[in-house]
Amino acid sequence: MSDRHVFEYALLRVVPRVERGELVNAGVLVYCRARSFVVARTALDEERLLALDPFVDLPGVRAALCAVRRVCRGGAEAGPAGGDDAGRRFRWLVAPRSTVVQPGPVHTGLTADPAAEAEHLLDVLVRAPREGTARRTAPPGER
């Protein structure tokens, strides 16, 4: 039996002006049912976001990303969703919204370590490439 499990993930995107459709990837949501695991990892590139909209509400965007992380952790500080299981919290977070912080489509893969997968996805899909580093890696879920 394999030690790898199916996981699902979605990008968190910041769309400062919905009418323009421009966006900055700001995080990932990762859910693994077999491990009852859900996490949000974020890395907001504020400079890129301000290039799209110099008047974006940065404190509001930061607060929205923080709220997503709280919902993933669950518990009382997550509000009404905090008592739900990991799967329900993930489904609530990936439901389409027309707000500044939006979830992208859900994708799947296989992983032995969902926490490490979240960090890998953040590196590959969200963080800007660093000068002098090779970005050729296996597609998400196929490492």
Residue 80: its pLDDT value, please? 85
134 pLDDT tier (thresholds 50, 70, 90) = low
Rounded-to-integer distance, Cα 22 and Cα 2, Å = 40
Q: Is the pLDDT of residue 138 over 60?
A: no
Residue 45: its pLDDT value, please? 96
139 pLDDT tier (thresholds 50, 70, 90) = low
Residue that the structure tokens 């009382």 belong to? 76
Q: What are the domain boundaries of the chain?
A: 5-126
101-118 residue pLDDT tens: 999 999 999 999 999 999
